[in-house]
Chains A and B, each alone.
Chain A
């Protein structure tokens, strides 16, 4: 089927049950290559659970997940990452005691294959500094290279997180509420940044901010009570009365 090659990520019958509660119910998600795809829905709709299932931080009760046609249902989280599928976290995920440059470098370092080399000097990583600084420049953090990540403002931390993710040259980026808890200025900056880095990549994001979703996303999947309510581009989805009832109604 040549058609299926367009989808980088697919789930079939994805289900997650916690004790007596179905958090994710028979979700069939298809993410098209080079799309920015959003997962939206009211609180408790199961967005983050879907996210954790896709990145293997949770184990599904039923169903399968395939990436590039390969079944990853039983693959470990670290291995998913090595396949080019990198996630971000709802709370900004930086390494707070390391500098911004070190944060990015630790991601670049994996390819050197020296992560177990305890006898080599840390200066053996200096060859990665140029690339790390290039990535910091890309997300507008030129002046923060030597700043300790924990001391950086929130919006900058999220930008650093994206730079770190980009260091792995991911084919598929999964962003969990990238603009959550940000002021308008930061939201704008991160939105621009996501658009910039989306070239030649696929992005799946969970997002609350509908402004961000409408300007950024090619396709939107609406979740409600763990199941897919509807799917389509922003115009289609926002015109759907069920979505208005379930989501927009509450949001307004």
Chain B
């Protein structure tokens, strides 16, 4: 019951937010929140540390940009093409990486994502160092002009909510049960007759596709896809967001993303602009040392203790 009230409050807040805060900033926040939640699906619920999620986020950003700008696809379809390609890329990388565990899995995903990065650097359609610029926002459902920031905001909010709903359902599904069994005790899951690699692969593909949806949406918001989106820094940042917010909690990564994006935005314009990485690094160290469950994880424990 309390949980539904909480959800309704957050939803109400999200609905009025663009009238209180600069909508473009909020849209950026929602894109990264979706990215982190998608990443959490494989790290928090699948127990696999992928260090290559920038390839899905940035790859979809470029493909969606190209699909809308050059092929002239409507915005919604462009997003689906981007997310779909990220899922296919996820399948390819997943097939190669999923048999390995721990650090080896992280290294293989990183290496393959770096290969994707160099492909995007050298491909013509990405615009190389300049990025893919001037992607038109188009209209939503052919009616709402997305050039208007408020319309665009509600469109992004809808995409975020759909993505979040898919993740929430996946976690609380028959598949989610098997996935958490695998995370808890992989040999036992095998001995019960589950093909663990195929379950992990499906989780990885879903995570990649949703990360792609986030990257694709970001392209439409900023009308730009750049190499920053596919750079391995991005893969690192999403790990940071997820851990800071709370690994394996549904809302945690979204909170973590909000914290990081807000800090980046406000620090960048102030006196500390050159010190952003240092500030973020310090926060990360404090989080890992003192609040290992992340913001949402610690809050949950606190609530459980007090009530």
Q: Is the CB of A98 within 8 A of B184?
A: yes
A57 touches B187 (CB 8 A): yes
- With the chains together, A24 CA to B193 CA distance in Å? 26
Is A121 interfacial (CB 8 A cutoff)? yes
For the complex, is A93 an interface residue (Cβ under 8 Å from B)?
A: yes
Q: Which of A79-87, A190-198, A218-226 contacts B (4 or more CB under 8 A)?
A: A79-87
Residue in contact with B191 in the complex, picked from A77, A120, A121, CB distance below 8 Å: A77
* A168 adjacent to B192 (CB under 8 Å): yes
* B149 touches A (CB below 8 Å): no
Residues of the B chain whose Cβ atoms lie less than 8 Å from the Cβ of A106: 177-178, 181, 189, 192
State which of B187, B192, B202 has its C-beta within 8 Å of the C-beta of A107: B192
Q: How far is the CB of B7 from chain A (nearest CB, A)?
A: 16
Within 8 A of B (CB), among A77-135: 77-79, 81-82, 86-89, 93-98, 102, 105-107, 109-110, 112, 114-122, 124-125
- Residues in chain A near residue B292, CB distance under 8 A: none
Given A93-B185, A107-B192, CB of A117 within 8 Å of CB of B175? yes
* Interface membership of A15, Cβ < 8 A: no
A105 CA / B183 CA spacing, docked (Å): 16
**B187 engages A121 (CB within 8 Å):** no
Q: Say whether B191 contacts A116, CB under 8 Å.
A: no
List A contacts of B191 (CB < 8 A).
Answer: 55, 77, 81, 86-89, 93
From B76-84, B138-146, B166-174, give the one contacting chain A: B166-174
Chain B: interface size category:
20 to 34
Give the contacts of B190-208 with A (CB-CB under 8 A).
Answer: 190-196, 198-199, 202, 206
Contact check, B194 vs A78: say whether CB atoms are below 8 A apart. Answer: yes
Q: A106-B181, A110-B194, A121-B169 are in contact. Are A95 and B188 (CB under 8 A)?
A: yes
Give CA–CA (A116, B200) in the complex, Å.
Answer: 10
Q: For B175, B181, B195, B198, which residue has the most chain A Cβ atoms within 10 angstroms?
A: B181
Q: Which of B180, B190, B202 contacts A118 (CB 8 A)?
A: B202
B176 at the interface (CB under 8 A from A): yes
Question: Which residues of the other chain, B, contact A78 by a CB distance below 8 angstroms?
Answer: 190, 193-196
A164 touches B194 (CB 8 A): no
B237 CB to nearest chain A CB (Å): 26
Name which residue of chain B comes closest to A149, CB basis: B184
Q: Evaluate contact between B174 and A164: CB separation under 8 angstroms.
A: no
- Assess the B202–A122 pair: CB atoms within 8 A: no
A157 to chain B, nearest CB (A): 11
- Minimum distance in angstroms from A86 CB to a CB of chain B: 6
List the interface of chain A (C-beta within 8 A of B): 55, 57, 77-79, 81-82, 86-89, 93-98, 102, 105-107, 109-110, 112, 114-122, 124-125, 164, 168
